[in-house]
Chain A
Amino acid sequence: MAASSKLMHKVFKDASQFLKVGCRLQAQNVICRHASHFTYFKDEPLKEFGDTSKTNMFQAINSAMDIALDTDSSAVVFGEDVAFGGVFRCSMGLQEKHGKDRVFNSPLCEQGIVAFGIGLSVAGSTAISEIQFADYIFPAFDQIVNEAAKFRYRSGNLSNCGSLTIRAPCSAVGHGGLYHSQSPEAYFAHTPGLKIVIPRGPYKAKGLLLSCIRDKDPCLFFEPKILYRTAEEEVPVNDYTLPLGKADIVKAGSDITLVGWGTQVHVLLEVAKLAEEQFNVSCEVIDIVSILPWDKNTVCESVKKTGRVMIAHEAPLTNGFGAEIAATIQEECFLYLESPVKRVTGFDTPFPLIFEPFYIPSKWRCLQAVKETVHY
């Protein structure tokens, strides 16, 4: 680690001691790692899926890919640093089990990863690709929106790349700053031909990822990276799938509908609790699960019942997917609405490291919005 190892060892040891003792007084200004901004709410798996075990989200994703490789001999898993298990450990042990030809590293090139995956899929393989961070997906934008999304349409269904799935960790993590925190779902939601899914925890992640891998259209699977380790619950050990394009009512209520996806679902569940305690308001919380195609029936039915709605997402306000949901609600539920559709989102700025606590749609910003909407 250093030139004269012995001397340096001493330098670093002393420094460590100094940091521990000498700087303790200033430690209140050291706020590098924020505590999670949410409390995880566990899911209950369906009994029909059989035996379960305690599993976190990276393990659930690992299990889904393991099953895909077991049940489909044409399936391959690849991306940057996938071979040793991936930087978030999602592909751990898969190369050892399924071999180097089926689980492998790619060169560091996102456009290459997606294009290679399209080619695999066109030629009959099942391609499970990983982009290391959703923030780094943009070199592959052309391959995703002009190629993967349009392959079937432009050929009159002569060929397709439906067996392509692109996984990417997304969203806030507490210390990711500009380029390890973004939620880019809205860019892709503007592209017909893609399916986009964002799970809220391990149980959903496994079943939805298996659905994406087996779906006949190319899928983007965005995994909120803060959930990889913090989210842990009982997950069925066997093969199961969950429906794409179907929203979940995760908590029933009567006064206002709260809509979110990914990590934000847990923020909203806490907001629902606070609203009930603090001003006796009953919230219905919906996880839309699939961004594209999204389940407008479930959302609109709920809004017609409650008459009020708040949509919350981490991505910036302008042109965030909340805008699409809001527009649809005003069109479908206009006469049922008691107050304007409310959005609580990230601001229209890049995602800033040190201002993250203020940037994200925190439970307090959401709670204020619920209060204002109910008292409109």
Chain B
Amino acid sequence: MHSKLILRNLRAVGTAVRCFQSSCASSSTQLNLETQNDSRNSSAPVFPVDFTSKLQVTTERDVAKIPIYQVLGSDGRLTDSDQRIDVDEETTVKMYEAMMRQNILDGILYQAQRQGRISFYMTSFGEEGVAVGSASALESTDLVYGQYREAGVLMWRGFTLSDFINQCYSNDEDLGRGRQMPVHYGSRKLNFITLSSPLATQVPQAVGSAYAFKLAKNGRCVIAYFGEGAASEGDTHAAFNFAATLQCPVILFCRNNGYAISTPSREQYRGDAIAGRAVGYGLAAVRVDGNDIFAVRNATKYARDYCMSNNIGVVIEAMTYRVGHHSTSDDSSAYRSKEEVEDWDKSYNPITRLRLFMEHSNWWNEEKEKLLAKQIKADVLKAVAEAEKKLKPEISELFTDVYYEMPDHLMEQSAYLADHLKKYGEHYPLDNYKK
């Protein structure tokens, strides 16, 4: 662990690059003409400058591993007396409350799934600090592309308990109109792009959005979240490379929680994990203790400033642990020990860590804790009860939004279904849907 925030970039590694002169001179006129309006320097190929007569192979061991930046130890105390925390009591408590709300919402919706009330669910247990900490460091206008375990970002931005729960119940107030599985949230108002299940697709899309914001000069940053498993997808490679070559102000935020469903990170990647790749692409990188909400917040804040002022994408790798199962379709006892999970949950829990800090600061006590948990539980259960009363969206919404305007063939198919349901409606659960 490391208490100093270090952003790795090309200079930090000391790889000097410059234009390889002879190539510059021999570039064709046509090439130069084509790129003369390009603000990005020369079009000539760029090579490392130094030649060597010594044959050397660089291995993992030749490159220092990026340390994990930490502010709070697991005892809830600053790891270094020089550490500075830029949040006051009010903001700290707000961060704590957001994590608690996420945690209790997860607990209740997980049980709702177990009872067959919703079809599916994914908890964020153990990773609440990653989502809330990073969200707290961004501007509310910054655009978020999530994967599926960053509900805490929405929680921080003010997505209501009913917003979450209505989506999971696919009812008429689900902003996504009941079309996607539970936890596939989205909010235009909160600048959070609706999730999709395919992995890593959002990462290069975020880079494109960052480029658009750069052109628009609107001061908005873009963040893409993804897991260390998704980082193996080709799309993540594309995102890193595009972010670097097109100089996009984007934060590529990897939640490294140790497992992609059952696959441990040892079988997912080698070398210096995900942050270690960044410099190779020409991006900046920082690795952070994901269960230390202040470290996540500081790193994200720094990364935001850095990428906005330098037009260099920043990779943040938050080291954390997935305490829950991958999803309600998974039983993680098939591939990891109960002891391992308990150890992480007890010793490194982000919520516990922040609570200890707040207690040390005399901002929190047992009574406040009980009151908060009770209040959140009541709020969640009230929202669940309301969500269960609501009908599903109208059946005709099966056909809307495929296109901006409904083409003829879909109008025909919609009319055919309506006619079929007139004749055979008794065999369908029509009463559950809005008329």
Contact = CB atoms under 8 A, between A and B. Distances in A.
Contacts of A18: 381
B398 A355 contact: yes
Interface residues of B, number: 86
Contacts of A110: 233
B324 interface: yes
Given A3-B352, A7-B369, A108 B268 contact: yes
Interface stretch (B14-22, B59-67, B419-427): B419-427
A37 to B, nearest CB: 10
B181 A347 contact: no
Contact of B424 (A4, A5, A87, A364): A364
A84 B163 CA distance: 36
Nearest to B266: A105
Contacts of B395: 355, 358
A123 interface: no
A368 B423 CA distance: 9
A168 B111 CA distance: 30
B51 interface: no
Contact of B118 (A1, A32, A105, A107): A32
Contact of A80 (B125, B260, B424): B260
A2 interface: yes
A47 interface: no
B234 A139 contact: yes
Interface string B86-125: 0000000000000110011001100111011111100001
Contact of A179 (B112, B198, B377): B198
Contact of A7 (B235, B370, B409, B428): B370
Contact of B391 (A5, A16, A29, A365): A29
B116 to A, nearest CB: 6
A21 B408 CA distance: 48
B287 interface: no
Interface stretch (A64-72, A170-178, A203-211, A238-246): A170-178
A180 interface: yes
B140 to A, nearest CB: 26
Contact of A355 (B117, B178, B260, B352): B178
B131 to A, nearest CB: 15
A25 to B, nearest CB: 9
Nearest to B397: A355
B173 interface: no
A19 to B, nearest CB: 6
B422 to A, nearest CB: 11
Interface stretch (B154-162, B244-252, B307-315, B329-337): B329-337
B96 to A, nearest CB: 9
B181 A175 contact: yes
B402 A348 contact: yes
Contacts of A109: 232-234
Interface string B9-45: 0000000000000000000000000000000000000
B385 interface: yes
Contacts of B169: 30
A367 B170 CA distance: 29
Interface in A353-376: 353-355, 357-359, 362, 364-365, 367-368
* Best-surrounded residue of B117, B268, B355, B369 (most CB of chain A within 10 A): B117
A11 B377 contact: yes
Interface string B162-202: 00000001110000001111001000000000001111000
B359 to A, nearest CB: 11
Interface in A326-369: 347-350, 352-355, 357-359, 362, 364-365, 367-368
B178 A107 contact: no
A317 B234 contact: no
B24 to A, nearest CB: 35
A175 B119 contact: yes
Contact of A19 (B111, B268, B374, B428): B111
B230 interface: yes
B349 interface: yes
A156 interface: no
Nearest to B261: A81
B332 to A, nearest CB: 10
A254 interface: no
Interface of A: 1-5, 7-8, 11-12, 14-16, 18-20, 22-23, 26-33, 80-81, 83-85, 87, 105, 107-112, 135-136, 138-139, 174-180, 317-318, 347-350, 352-355, 357-359, 362, 364-365, 367-368
27 contacts: A5-B346, A7-B370, A11-B374, A12-B108, A12-B111, A19-B117, A23-B388, A28-B431, A29-B392, A30-B116, A32-B118, A80-B260, A81-B263, A84-B335, A105-B267, A107-B229, A135-B198, A139-B235, A178-B180, A179-B196, A180-B197, A318-B409, A350-B179, A354-B179, A358-B428, A362-B427, A364-B428
Closest 10 CB pairs of A and B: A354-B178, A3-B351, A179-B197, A175-B119, A32-B119, A26-B388, A107-B232, A354-B170, A177-B181, A355-B398
